[in-house]
Structures are given as C-alpha cells and as structure tokens.
Structure 1
Amino acid sequence: MSDGEREGRHEESHGGALGTRLNWLRAGVLGANDGVVSTAGLVVGVAGASADRGTLLTAGLAGLLAGSMSMAAGEYVSVNTQRDAEKAALAVERRELREDPEAELDELTRLLAERGLSHDVAREAAEQLTARDALRAHADVELGIDPDALTNPWHAAWASFLSFTAGALLPLLAIVLPPASARLAVTVCSVLAALVLTGWASARLGGAPPGRAVVRNVAGGAAAMAITYAVGALLGAAGA
C-alpha cells in the first residue's frame, strides 16, 4: 500500500475529527479575513480625512474591539443555539430508546442497511451497537452527533475573538507605525498580501481552487479600502 493510500485511509478513519478541525481552521481564517478587511476599510477611510496618528489609532482600536466583540457574541449565540438543538435531539432519542427500544432497533437496522449492508449484517451490527451503547449508536448513525463532543459556544466565541483581533492588528499597525508619507502605501500593500494569504488558505481548507478565491478576496478588500478612502477624503475636504 502506498503512502497516499495509507494517508487517505487514516483520514477516512478519523473523518469526524478531521472535519471538525477543518471547520475550526476555516472559521479562524475567515475571522482573520474579516478583521483585516473591516479594520483596513475603517483606518484607510479615516486616513482619507485625517493624517493625525492619534485619530487613526483611536479609530483602529475602536474598530478592532467592536468587531472582535461582535464576532465573539454572534458566534457564542449561534453555537449555543446549535448546542441546544443537539441536546434536544439527544433527549428525544433517549426517550424513544426508553419507551420503544424494539422500534429503535429496527430503525437503526434500516439506517445501517441504507448504507449498503445486507439486512442480516445490518441487524447484527445494530444489535451489537445497541448492546454497547444504544444512545451513542443512534446519535452517530441517525443524527450525526457525538454525545461527548457537543459544540462548545465558549470555544467558538474565543476563537472568533482571537482570529478577528489577529487580522485587525495588521492594518492597525500598518497605518500607525510608518511615517505619514508611507502610511497609506504600507497599509494597502500589507492588507492585499494578507488577503492573498487568507483567500488561498480558505480555498485550500474548503477543497476549492485557490485562484478565484484569492482574486475575489483581494478585489473585495481593495474595493472596500478604495471606497472608504474616497468617502473619507470627501468628508475631510468638506471639513466634516
């Protein structure tokens, strides 16, 4: 057996765990991307109206904190809702197993047979799985849930907070550290480079060709910076 085949079989045997890790990585990359784009748009827009370093720092920090807190709160609420749904589904399954175990055994047999097993093999497998842990068997085969690994809203919230913050720090530092004459160029170049990286990473994690994802990512970020800079420049010229 080749190394590639071994790797493929290894990933198949740990498909659930691998999928969970990829989802977390993808969420982290997208959170960082959001931090880069939103903060870059904010600080570049302010730079169009004012060259004052203190103003830029204040605006960037405000955007970073507001964005990271918003991302964390939204992720916490979303994952809590998912966790509640998972717990409710497990409670229903637990009640059904208690009230009508034979019907549940028949259902598990049917589900296993639908996956390609013969009826006799499916029945034997269902009986063995039920004897070992009936709830876990139904949670896995019927619901696609691991009762011992329910989604954690606090983990999701912290992951979103940290990834957004990491992304937002790049344009913030790029706009306040260089001298005024190079500030905008350094920010735009560093942001576009970061968008190339996050676009490539999100595409690879999603199994998609990276070319289009990178172009879309860079084009969106560049448009956001151009529009906010133009608006800031207009407001600054108007004395707003």
Structure 2
Amino acid sequence: MEIYGFDAFSPAEIIAKVETVGVSKARLPFRSMLMLSVLAGAFIGMGALYNVLVRSDPTLGFATRQVLGGAVFSLGLLMVVVAGAELFTGNNLLVMAWAAGKISTRELLRNWSIVFLGNFVGAVGLACLVVLSNHPALNQGAVAAQYRQIAAAKTALPFIDAFFSGVLCNALVCVAIWMAIAGRSVLDKAVAILFPISAFVAAGFEHSVANMYLIPMAMLLQWTGQAGAPAPVVWSGFAANMIPVVLGNIVGGSVFVGVVFHVIYRRPGAHT
C-alpha cells in the first residue's frame, strides 16, 4: 500500500468520495440545489472581481499581473469547496457517479441544468451589487475599463479558440477539486486549489461561470455609461462566448478528468 503525501486520501479513496458526494449532489431538493448554486455563482464572481482589481494596475508587468491575478481568483473556488456550494464546472465530476451507475442520466442533467441557472443568477446578481457599490470607479476608473477590455476580448474569441480554452480550463478546475478532496484540512484544500486555478487564470483559459460575471458586468458598465471599450459588449457576444466555453468546460471536466479517472481507478486491480 502506497502512502500519499502527508496523510492525504489516496486516488482510490478520492474516487469513492467523489461518487458518494455526486449521488448526494444529484439528489438535492430543488430549492437547496438552486440556492447553493446561486451562492457558487457569487463566490466565483468574487474571485473574478479580485482578479480584475489586480489586472487593472498598469504598473505591474504582464507575468506578474497574470500570475498574481490567478492566485487571488482562487478565492472563488476555495469558498465553493470550503463553504459548500454547487458549481457547474466542478459538478462536471458527477459524471463519475453516473459512469459507476449510481445516478441516472436524468439526475445528472437535472443537476447540471439547475446549477448552471443558479450560477448565472448568482454571478449576475453580484455584478449588479458591485455596480451599485461604485467599486468599478476605483483607481480612477481603471477597474471599470479593465472589465470592459476583458469582456470585449472574450466576446471576440473565435468558437474553436473558446472551446479548447474551455477544455483546458475545466480540466485544471476539476483536477483542483480532485486534489482538494484528497486533503483533510482547510489548508490542504487551499494549497491544492491554488496552483491549478492560478495556472488556468494566468494562461487566459475560459471559465463559463467566471464569464457569467465578467461579461454581464461589462454590459452593466456600458449601460450606465462607465468607461470605454474596444468594442460594444452585447448579449449576442455573451452567447457566442458561452456556448463554446460551456461545451469545452464539459469536455475538459467530465471527459478529461471524470471519465479518465473512472477508467483508471475503477477497473479491476486498479492502483490503490
């Protein structure tokens, strides 16, 4: 029997935990599932807010802004994991419980649909509160300008770029969750989350729930007449970003992490 880290759970133990949690998540009552997903949307939005604040500082070099911005964005997933919330991208790992025959296809799709909706409500709701707080006016309006710049770039992404960026993003997110489950303490989970999440943000990969906050935020700023932008940000641009990013997130999390780990650790004689 191998020893993993400092008393961390082994991969075979992690998959058992993921499957058990997956069954519980899939069978949550509608109201609980929706409310927890609204919280997750707001949590990820908070991480994105923190990231934009760092990126709005023109005195920082490119690498410093990207890496530091990625590190602070990790706050969002840390709150989801530790405080407990339902995040669409993380719940792509429910495919492991589905592959093991513990939940049905209907239960899987029900969870993804409700959680996706709740994440959107939470992220957009946070954006409304942030605009009302006048937070984007910080640094002489540089924060607002950064939101508009980020959103304009995201809505201009070609479909194929957005798709594969979404694949890479959620592969890292789901690996972060997988490793966080291996940890026994909050500190373990924080360390496990920090590096994969900061990596995907620094690399500029696309996270659907973060984009639910960032793009509507830019539209709100546009509607209220704050800051300029390289190009108008509109709902059609939001949809053009979300469709390939959501598809990419599902492939990256469900297939590249969930299905791969299921095949590795659920086959006879698998490594324990």
Q: Same fold per TM (> 0.5)?
A: no
Q: TM-score, normalised by structure 1?
A: 0.30
Q: TM-score scaled to structure 2, two decimals?
A: 0.27
Q: Which has the higher helix share?
A: 1
Q: Pick 1 or 2: higher relative contact order, CA cutoff 8 A, min separation 6.
A: 1
